[in-house]
Structure 1
């Protein structure tokens, strides 16, 4: 049944009618009215105007049809920072914070960092914000994504060099102390691509349109030409790909090869030191 919020409904009555997931509904109502969560409680007797009821109805209906909350409100928090989020970029997820934490632990003072396939800029901006001494570069093949990433860097006061590039092309001849990436790693035809928020996210940032490992193979193969010996390569990957990624790294001569678990206990990031 299509959701409709009637003019004259009070905020209190609206909250007592969970038309969607209660958390999603609260976020969308706050966004539609430009109020805080606290205001929903303290203004429970506030009566919705026709315009307000229509704005809320439209947002709730769009969510009912599957559109991600992050796209509907235009932002998502990542690593404690606000990020603009549009359909041009993947929605930053808590799982990816593990990649940032691992990178920060391995980043030398004034080190040079390269983020490949930066999307919203979440990884690069989080690193640059936390470590202003670092020299952070971020690449993406999508000019639309780079525009979003640049705005996110400005919004969070992070110093990041953004370059339009197909993988390493724009940094030929440069060397880095740390390389990180959250590349497309979902295999073509995977059912998850047709479920949930993934249906609305840019497919080229989700899948390699192959076996899910092609981008990871390329990173493992090409990183040594762009990294100092002993530099770390850290990559996010799928829930069932850790063993395969470790195999790629070991076969290419990387040392200290390992995988690390996210908060759900899933091996989400793998990496190793570039051979010298």
Structure 2
């Protein structure tokens, strides 16, 4: 039991105590983290905390909140403790084989939507390495006549993605398939999206503990130079350009320092159009590619 976290403690006092513990441990975002954990562990809404903050947390609440605090103090990310996180304003469950959705990845969704601005246009989409399904589900949520396929090598990730599609009301327009990149696909698709593993293997040991010890390695490790997944995807499209419909596009998340390498790689494989988009912090984050029309 965390010292001072007793059943008679009020909800407000428990939250203040948790903030202090996280701050003293030097954890960033201590106030926000403490609030997330308190609402989750005590099964409260923000309104509950505001209107009935003086009610005691009780024995069960003290136990749950204490366990959540211990996990956070041990370095486990809040999203992993909650087992869910928000992306594109939508709720997503997580699993051991899925990444925690990050705000940077919303740049992929924004870029894809700009390419196909008509909300009711029929589209065929595929999300390579779908993980939690966050990119695919967000796109289907915004494009009401689109159908999407989520592809992943991890069966556990596919189960989570299916559940997230159902949870967010797009399950009838989504399918999920186990496979490796483009191997199992039959086109054409209007849009192929992906947030592939792009961390260079030697860099992984230097990542924050929260990432290195809690994110699935298969979703991080991009090979010796971080480009293995991109090579597989671009080579697959170069060999089978019919996977993209006329006017179709490939939209990929990239690392902040990979734009030049991806541009060179795409050019070497015959892609006629390459453009780079930035995230909210101004970092290069998205590459949009279209293959040459020759041979199509």
CA-CA distance at 1:6 after TM superposition:
2.1
Give SS of 1:124's match: helix
Is contact 2:75-2:209 (8 Å) kept? no
Give SS of 1:167's match: coil
Provide the TM-score with structure 2 as the length reference. 0.87
Is contact 1:112-1:135 (8 Å) kept? yes
Is structure 2 residue 130 aligned with structure 1 residue 118?
Answer: yes
Is contact 1:75-1:84 (8 Å) kept? yes
CA-CA distance at 1:4 after TM superposition:
5.6
1:126-179 Cα shifts (integer Å, max 9, x gaps): 1111112112111001110000000000001112111111111221x4221211
Q: How far apart in 2 are the matches of 1:252 and 1:179?
A: 17
* Other-structure match for 1:221: 235
* Other-structure match for 1:5: 5
Is structure 2 residue 112 aligned with structure 1 residue 100?
Answer: no
Is contact 2:42-2:57 (8 Å) kept? no
Give SS of 1:183's match: coil
Provide the TM-score with structure 1 as the length reference. 0.94
1:166 corresponds to which of 171, 180, 184 = 180
Q: How far apart in 1 are the matches of 2:77 and 2:211?
A: 5
Give SS of 2:274's match: strand
CA RMSD of aligned residues (A): 1.7
Is contact 1:229-1:274 (8 Å) kept? no
Q: How far apart in 1 are the matches of 2:209 and 2:110?
A: 29
Q: How far apart in 2 are the matches of 1:239 and 1:275?
A: 26
Give SS of 1:168's match: coil
Q: How far apart in 1 are the matches of 2:158 and 2:183?
A: 16
* Other-structure match for 1:178: 191
Distance 1:47 1:262, change over 3 A: same
CA-CA distance at 1:192 after TM superposition:
4.2
2:289 corresponds to which of 261, 267, 272 = 272
Matches within 5 A, 1:81-96: 81-96=90-105
Name the stretch that deviates more: 11-20 or 178-187.
Answer: 11-20
Can you give the 5+ residue segments of structure 1 that lack an aligned partner in the other structure? none
Is structure 2 residue 54 aligned with structure 1 residue 45?
Answer: yes
1:35-89 Cα shifts (integer Å, max 9, x gaps): 1123223222211222211110000110111112112112111111111112220
Q: Which runs of 4+ in 1 moved over 4 A?
A: none
CA-CA distance at 1:94 after TM superposition:
0.9
Number of corresponding residues: 274
